[in-house]
Amino acid sequence: MKIVLVGYMGSGKSTIGKILADGLGLDFLDLDSYIEQSEGVTIPELFKKKGEIYFRKKENEYLRQILQKEHNFVLSTGGGAPCYGNNMEIILRGTKNVFYLKVSIGELVRRLATQKSERPLIKNIPDSDLLEFIGKHLFERGFFYEKAWQTIVCDGKDTQEIAQEIRTFLV
């Protein structure tokens, strides 16, 4: 069984992915961590040294590599991964268990406002502009996220509830 979680940063992909993997006795993989291990540098360092185009090519390469593995796992993608190249098509061909963790713009702003220093994409965005930035970004990326086989609305639910809801849809 291969399970892939997609969604905007702060949607809970890693947290829920770990809970889901533990509950199902599966390995948990985080695409960004996998890239960092494989490349031997952090994502921000990779962007700085080699640029976004190089990063996106490697992201695509490692995504293919992971999905071709025969063992079972839960994979958390980076927020942008499904939105570049043919990554979402690769994901959808790799498994029927693709879940979009959908979180409202207001909830994302609430979650991410306290994590800005850890999030390079929003690190330098003033709090007053965060709502507009996330709204615009989510509008652009939503097209890709919505291709997931299932959408899980996450607002007002705790992580255990969300993991349980995903389990009910597993094929």
CA dihedral of residues 129, 104, 166, 95 (deg, nearest 10) = -60
Instruction: Give the residue extent of every domain in the chain.
Output: 2-169
Rounded to an integer, the average pLDDT of 58-83 is: 93
Q: Tell me the pTM.
A: 0.94
Taking each continuous run of H as one helix and of E as one strand, the counts in the chain are 7, 5
What class, spelled out in words, does domain 2-169 have in CATH?
A: alpha beta
What's the pLDDT band for 98 if we cut at 50, 70, 90? very high
Rounded to an integer, the average pLDDT of 76-96 is: 95
CA distances from 158 to 40, 73, 100, 101, 139 (A): 34, 22, 16, 12, 25
Whether the pLDDT of residue 13 is over 90: the answer is yes
102-136 residue pLDDT tens = 999 999 999 999 988 778 788 889 999 999 999 99
| Average model confidence (pLDDT) across the chain | 94
